[in-house]
Amino acid sequence: MSTMRRAGILAASGAAVLAFATACGSSGHTTASPTSPAPGNTAPATPMPSQPANAMVKAVGSSTGLGQIVTDGNGFTLYRFDQDTNSPSASHCTGGCATTWPAVTTTGQPSGTGLSGTLGTITRDDGSKQVTLDGWPLYRFAGDTKAGQTNGQGVNGTWWAITPAGGKAMAASTSPTAPPTSGY
């Protein structure tokens, strides 16, 4: 077998394993399907900023008409997922979902400013501590490549920027029952 053919087979095998691993979630949790960044957003995603040992979250005004939303200490919008629960607090975003929607994690006690909901943590299947707000697990969106973006708002009708009280941020014309945006 030629070296080129062998390399091609290895590359195809690796891609198949990656696709399988991405599609499978941890046992006991529903895995949400991953999503793509908003149509027209062709800029490559920049890596998420590293998370401090003591995760900081803060309430800020949104320039996108969502009212007050919560960001991390670097200004990246934080989101909640409708398939999660807040009482008891549980994350259901694993596998490929967790690649598109990285959990906000901490090794210390989370802190925040301007919040009316209570900060806490839950333990994820991998042992990491995910930050919660009023019981809702917090996530970033890989499609937000700069601080202040809200590209994850309303994705699949299940992802919402989170308010300082732990609610869903909604623009005046946004409805939580709206159909998914084309391309998601």
Helix, strand, coil abundance in the chain, percent, nearest 5:
15, 25, 60
Identify the residue whose tokens are 């998370």: 51
Which residue type does 53 have? A
Per domain, the residue ranges of the chain are: 56-161
Q: Give the pLDDT mean for 84-100.
A: 96
pTM of the model: 0.68
Positive/negative CA dihedral, 43, 143, 109, 63: positive
Q: Cβ of 54: how many Cβ atoms within 10 Å?
A: 12
pLDDT by residue (tens digit) across 134-153?
999 999 999 999 999 999 99
Q: Which residue, among 71, 93, 72, has the nearest Cα to 82 in the 3D structure?
A: 93
